[in-house]
Structure 1
Amino acid sequence: MPSMHTSFLPVVHARVVVIGLLSALVLAGCGSTSRRVNYEPEAFGSTTTHTRDYEATEAQTCEAARRALLSQGYMITAANADLVTGRKSFQPASEVHVEVEFRVVCARESTRSGKASRNTVAFATALQDRYGLKKVNNSASLGVGAIGSLSLPFSGSDDAMVKVASETLTDERFYDRFFSLLDRYLEGPEGEEEAGAPAETPAASPPPAASSSQPAPVPAPAVTYPVTSSPNRG
């Protein structure tokens, strides 16, 4: 007859395995929940931070956005009638490099009835990439046929910029300054319309009368004829 101790071991082992699996599932669920919370901070409550309405066409709005970015030192990477993108580099510290990619999309606003409106909505988004300086150690090695690889006591290091963070800028004041500058370029300088209007041409004066090169004819002297007097019959 088998002993009770021998038959009890498989049951204990099975319980330990089941408890371990349940613990792993619980830990995995907790970890996934925390990551999901970290990646879902959006409330979708504000629609004014990244958008503005303009009484202009899509091409006019994006052209004003392109000029606004150019005036601030951005390098334009793409520009057409409904999209403008630009990049600008910053160096806040000796070992920190920051790049901002600005993107503007111009879309014609439509009414609820589906008819196209004369207004255009400008959507602006800025993505900030942060890079850090990282040192990579390199050691020299020498391959010997009989012995193998032999490491030498000579080493060096190379500096490389590595991306350490990437974030979409959400500061309302940052976008307010950009949209104010876009509005200035969209309106244009004062007096532009007056300068662009064609100047009125003065009415052409009638050509002067052509003067004759020949002298005016001299009138001929009057010719007198003698009149005979009639005899007095009275």
Structure 2
Amino acid sequence: MNRFLEVVRRDLRLALRQGSDSVMVVTFFVLTVVLFPFGIGPEVNVLERVSAGVLMVTALLASMLSLDRLFQADYEDGSLELLVLTPTPLGVVVAAKILAHWLTTGLPLMVAAPVLAVLLHMQPEGFATLLAAMALGTPILSLIGGIGAALVLGARRGGVLLSLLILPLYVPVLIFGVGAIDAAVQGMSAKPHLLILSGILVAALVLAPWASAAALRQALE
């Protein structure tokens, strides 16, 4: 547990010291959402109808921007090999790095989402469900993205490969996240959609760190 927290603190310090990834992710999220009213028009009914989809799709794309660097810096400076050789299971180390990634990218997206929902005229009934969907969905994006980042580690044009690998796996998060928000806005229960997202999150928490660890070992051989 101590090693887990050490890795989280280390990655958070590095992320806060550099700051570029978090700023880039949030800036992309905000600017892309702000552009939609200019592209599809200012009609309130139209913006309200597409608000859930716009927010979830944009958050999904924004979360991918820094994924290719999740393990890259450690790989380039050799510290990844040291992490593999430590007594702590590599899956635990990977889970810590993914948590740090979510805290610096997914959490800011979740905080920014309600503000942007106001811009898109989302009904107030959807705000709580939007936060719940983001709270469940963004960790899934980081966990699945960690597998992709490990698989393309050291590859040329890794960012392109990463997108091709993980975008299809992100589709369930998009479907059930948008479905939950739309259900809440329409006065129906969002619970089924959120329960499915919760199940996906539990499965990702159990499987993704170890799958990423196996891919990292393969990349280092």
TM-score above 0.5: no
- Which protein is richer in helix relative to its size? 2
Q: Max radius of gyration: which structure?
A: 1
Task: With the length of structure 2 as denominator, give the TM-score of the two structures.
Answer: 0.22
